[in-house]
Amino acid sequence: MDEAQRGSAEGIAVAVVQFAPTDDTVHNRDSVAAFVAVAAGRGAKLVVFPEYSSYFVHPLGDGFVRNAEPMDGPFVGALVAAAREHGVFAVAGLVERTDDKHRFSNTIVAVAPTGDVVATYRKQHLYDAFGAQESEWVVPGAIDAPQTFEAHGITVGMQTCYDLRFPEVTRRLADAGAELVLVPAEWVRGPLKEQHWRTLIAARAIENTLYVAAADHTPPIGVGSSTIVDPMGVALATIGETTGVAVAEVTAERVRAVREVNPALALRRYRVEPID
């Protein structure tokens, strides 16, 4: 691990970015670069973007397949360039090309300040709920061992949107050592959906005694309310319904202190195992 990845053991300033990606892939890349600059200017060393940051229209359709990119494509290239220029970790949702001519992968990419891709996550729980059918267009991610990466003394894990409704996903990340879990999302609006979003983010943080940083699209499609929540469930920074950036400090010491007071992970009597 190089010095840029190790960083300080004191903590890290984390930014969540809330915006509405479109079907204009060049505009999306430019937006990501601009938001990284804004977040870095506010002291952030880790910048988290929503799911589907490279391309998005509603509802899902064959445009996603046509605009899917490889990992070495222009979107990841722009993310790499922004991370290098501003010396930050950058994490964003990619519509990734697959061998399936009719479906794509809903992928999260984490890039280090060096420009290296340090972790990827492909969405495991597809949004076949509330009238949607994501599996019609998306290849589900394999149930692999969690990928984590180190950012300035913090162990970071990733999951995506609908995964938030499955507590075992975050628990597996906690078991893998995660102190901060990133949740890029496109949490679609609907009856009680904003309440679910906020409740589930806080629940995943509290029950695993770790930080959760969740980035959503702006309304009218997404619910907004991107937020960073600490291990006691306290919202440290939140964006309402507007486009913008929120920044909060994340420290390993806070995780340790909360786990001393609330040793729920040590006291549990069940483990998480994949079904397949």
Q: Which residues are catalytic?
A: 51, 123, 161
17: left (phi over 0), alpha (psi -120 to 50) or beta: beta
* Partner residues linked to 156 by β-bridges: 149, 180
In angstroms, rounded to a whole number, what is the distance separating the alpha carbons of residues 183 and 164?
8
Q: Which two tokens stand for residue 127?
A: 């949004």
Q: Which two tokens stand for residue 17?
A: 């970015």
Closest alpha carbon to 164 in 186, 144, 143, 149: 186
As a whole number of Å, the end-to-end CA separation of the chain is 33
Q: How far is CA 127 from the centre of its chain?
A: 16
